[in-house]
Amino acid sequence: MKQLILTDIADAFADEPMKIGDRLQILGISKKESAEHFAKDLLETVVHGSSFLKFFQNNIDKLSFDDNVPAEGLPENYVNPYEDKQKTIDQRLSDLEMTAEDKLELFDQDTLDLLVSGQEFTDFLVSNKQKFLEKLGSLAMEEKTDAT
């Protein structure tokens, strides 16, 4: 089943005529899976959103939803920037893929050279969140300017 977004859910329950099978597909239920549980005539039936909601509620057990989205594996080169061993702030920011230029723009070299634990790094990020937010804002504005 695909990862749903709010617009998918809104589209599936929209109050306009649509086939039950099409509504189920919007919710990530394949035609094959739908055909295993419901007659073709039923899946071809055109209903409004309120009728589909009632159908959905009455048949939730047949739809066999898995409440858990399967986890994706981490990349092989993944490094946990919050691990508990001692590392410099510079190394941890690099683990978060922050560029050397951006790091030096925000912090002096003495700060970047500090050895910290994972929790200390988290505290560092929290205490400097305004700097990071301002940097993200300026990057967004640059991106917007470049796009126009």
Give the whole-angstrom CA distance, residue 25 versus residue 5: 13
Q: At 89, list the tokens.
A: 């702030």
pLDDT given for residue 70 in this prediction: 65
Assigned domain for 77 exists? no
75 occurs within a structural domain? no
Residues 52 and 99 in one domain: no
Q: Write out the residue range of the structural domain in which residue 113 sits.
A: 87-147
The closest alpha carbon to 36, from 68, 12, 66, 63, belongs to 63
- Output the tens digit of pLDDT for each of the chain's 148 residues: 567 788 889 999 999 999 999 999 999 888 998 998 999 999 999 999 999 999 999 998 887 655 555 667 888 888 899 999 999 999 999 999 899 999 999 999 999 999 999 999 999 999 999 999 998 888 888 877 776 6
Count of structural domains within the chain = 2
Residue 4 has a pLDDT of 79
Residue 80 lies in a domain: no
> Of 37, 58, 79, which closes a domain?
58
Does residue 52 share a domain with residue 91? no
Torsion of Cα atoms, 91 then 92 then 96 then 101, to 10°: -50
Last residue of a domain, one of 58, 73, 98: 58
On whether the pTM is more than 0.75, the answer is: no
Is residue 123 helix, strand or coil?
Answer: helix
Which of 15, 41, 58 is the last residue in one of the domains? 58
- Whether 50 is in a domain gets the answer yes
53 and 94 within one domain? no
Q: What is residue 69's predicted lDDT score, i.e. its pLDDT?
A: 57
